[in-house]
Amino acid sequence: MSTPAPQAAAGNIATFNILHGFPEALVRGMRSSFLGDQDYHHLTQCETLDDVRLNLTETDYGDAIADFNAITPAVLQKAAIEKLVTEFKYLRTQSVEPLATFLDFITYEYMIENVMLLLKGALSGRDINELIEQCHPLGMFKESTMRSIPTFENSARGYADLYQTVLVDTPVGPYFAMFLQESSEHQGTDARHVLEEVEIEIIKSSLIKYWIEDFYHFVQKIGGETADIMGELLRVRADTNAINITLNSFGTPLNEPAMRSSDRKRLYPAVGHLYPAGTTELTEVSNEEELGRVLDLFPQYAAIWSMHASGGDKSIDDVFYERDVQSLELAFESQFHFGVFYAYAKLKEQEIRNLVWISECILQQQKDEINKFVPVFSFHSPWRGSKRR
């Protein structure tokens, strides 16, 4: 699939504001809505969820939770995501090409996740209304599309039908088409007998891989500052995916020698710092030790891996989250590019994760765990010099 060129130029430092000055300033203004160190401090001191709610009314989340008399972590998450989606849709309505396409690209990830959620839910025979309720509101399709996704049958034929009748009209259709084409090319190999559960994960990883590549090529075509900053964010994202796929494949059929080079290799995105030398080596690894040896060759991942390997109290996901927050915050350090929109959405997601974590800890009385979150734009972040302020 070739990524279509952006319909207009994003503009350089002197012309960017002509089309995108307003939405850019909007999203930078929204930066002030992130919870500060003070807010987190107050939240972690709370004894009950009612206290949490009271503290949040002082913040930007005040309006979002005003309608709820009592909050639970799930309610809080739903309200916070609703708020993020409202803000995102507002930005989307204020944007013109090529920013509009850029923002749409951000939503494709959630569309893929929703399709996969529906497929997985249908496999385990869950109720469709309940599934739609769980879908991320940024990645919603038309109601009729949502309802017809789970009616597929779980076979290569079924996926083809699903694509031809339902997904072909959606923005993520092309990714699905590529997946079908690639798996039909690999039909000859005998490595297709994977568990159904793994099959869904493989489809999801493939679609996300195509999405990252497509998005990456799109920002490269936009060029300028956007290509630099957003390109770096997506390269890092691609590497994270490659490492996680490898790590999660240990102990699954995907790690069998025959599958490694045929199926697992296909899931590695063809962009990023690890591509191509690193991903070629990742194809060969069969356990954590070998994975660590490959990552040692890449200084930025060697540090992350050593934190995972040393068995500290941080999981590799936590370390990745921390690294993501650091690199996403950097997108706010320069002006006249699109990277901030992506960074804003992702940092807000991190904030929502933090809120859910804190409220879960309070609910379950796990006060000693409560500080294990990654604050956004915190003055106490390890990468920020403590001298400031």
Partner 1 sequence: MGDNSATCSSVYCNQGWAEVLTHMSPYGYANFGVAFGLGLSIVGAAWGIWLTGSSLVGAAVKAPRIRSKNLISVIFCEATAIYGVIMAIILTNKIKEPENPDYYLEEGWDYNGYYYAGYGMFSAGLSVGLTNIASGVSVGIAGSSCAIADAQDASLFVKILIVEIFASALGIFGIIVGIIQSNACTFPIAALG
Rounded Cα distance between 79 and 68, Å, is 9
- Applying CB under 8 A, which part among 31-39, 70-78, 227-235, 257-265 lies near partner 1? 31-39
Residue 379 binding partner 1, by CB under 8 A:
no
Distance of CA 328 to the CA centre of its chain: 12
Letters for 68-97 (x = contact with partner 1 by CB under 8 A, - = none) are: ------------------------------
- Applying CB under 8 A, which part among 15-23, 180-188, 202-210, 345-353 lies near partner 1? 15-23
Residue 278 binding partner 1, by CB under 8 A:
no
Residue 5 binding partner 1, by CB under 8 A:
no
Residue 385 binding partner 1, by CB under 8 A:
no
Rounded Cα distance between 286 and 254, Å, is 10
Residue 335 binding partner 1, by CB under 8 A:
yes
- Applying CB under 8 A, which part among 27-35, 95-103, 215-223, 309-317 lies near partner 1? 27-35
Q: Which residue has the tokens 């309720």?
A: 133
Residues 6+ apart with CB under 8 A from 165: 148
Instruction: Specify the residue, 18 or 70, whose C-beta has the smaller distance to partner 1.
Output: 18
Letters for 32-51 (x = contact with partner 1 by CB under 8 A, - = none) are: xx------------------
Rounded Cα distance between 62 and 82, Å, is 13
Rounded Cα distance between 5 and 16, Å, is 18
The least CB distance from residue 30 to partner 1, in Å, is 6
CA distances from 22 to 62, 326, 357 (A): 25, 26, 34
The least CB distance from residue 336 to partner 1, in Å, is 8
Residue 32: how many other CB atoms lie within 10 Å: 9
Residue 333 binding partner 1, by CB under 8 A:
no
Residue 318: how many other CB atoms lie within 10 Å: 16
Instruction: Specify the residue, 213 or 225, whose C-beta has the smaller distance to partner 1.
Output: 225
For the residues of 241-276, what is the DSSP string, one character each?
HHHHHHHHHTTSGGGSHHHIIIIIHHHS-S-SSSTT
The least CB distance from residue 389 to partner 1, in Å, is 10
Instruction: Specify the residue, 19 or 116, whose C-beta has the smaller distance to partner 1.
Output: 19
The least CB distance from residue 62 to partner 1, in Å, is 14
Residue 375 binding partner 1, by CB under 8 A:
no
- Applying CB under 8 A, which part among 17-25, 142-150, 163-171, 378-386 lies near partner 1? 17-25
Binding partner 1 (rule: CB under 8 A), the pick from 21, 36, 171, 253 is 21
Instruction: Specify the residue, 32 or 144, whose C-beta has the smaller distance to partner 1.
Output: 32
Of the chain, the end-to-end C-alpha distance in Å amounts to 49
What is the greatest pairwise CA distance in the chain? 63
Binding partner 1 (rule: CB under 8 A), the pick from 1, 4, 7, 13 is 13
Binding partner 1 (rule: CB under 8 A), the pick from 31, 78, 89, 384 is 31
Is the CB of residue 341 less than 8 Å from the CB of residue 91? yes
For the residues of 98-122, what is the DSSP string, one character each?
THHHHHHHHHHHHHHHHHHHHHHHH
Binding partner 1 (rule: CB under 8 A), the pick from 1, 25, 54, 195 is 25
Binding partner 1 (rule: CB under 8 A), the pick from 23, 121, 272, 278 is 23
How many residues bind partner 1, per CB under 8 A?
17
Residue 8 binding partner 1, by CB under 8 A:
no
Binding partner 1 (rule: CB under 8 A), the pick from 22, 68, 379, 383 is 22
List the alpha helices (DSSP H) in 141-223: 143-148, 156-165, 173-185, 196-222
Is the CB of residue 349 less than 8 Å from the CB of residue 343? no
Rounded Cα distance between 136 and 336, Å, is 29
Chain residues binding partner 1 by CB under 8 A are 13-14, 17-18, 21-26, 28-33, 335
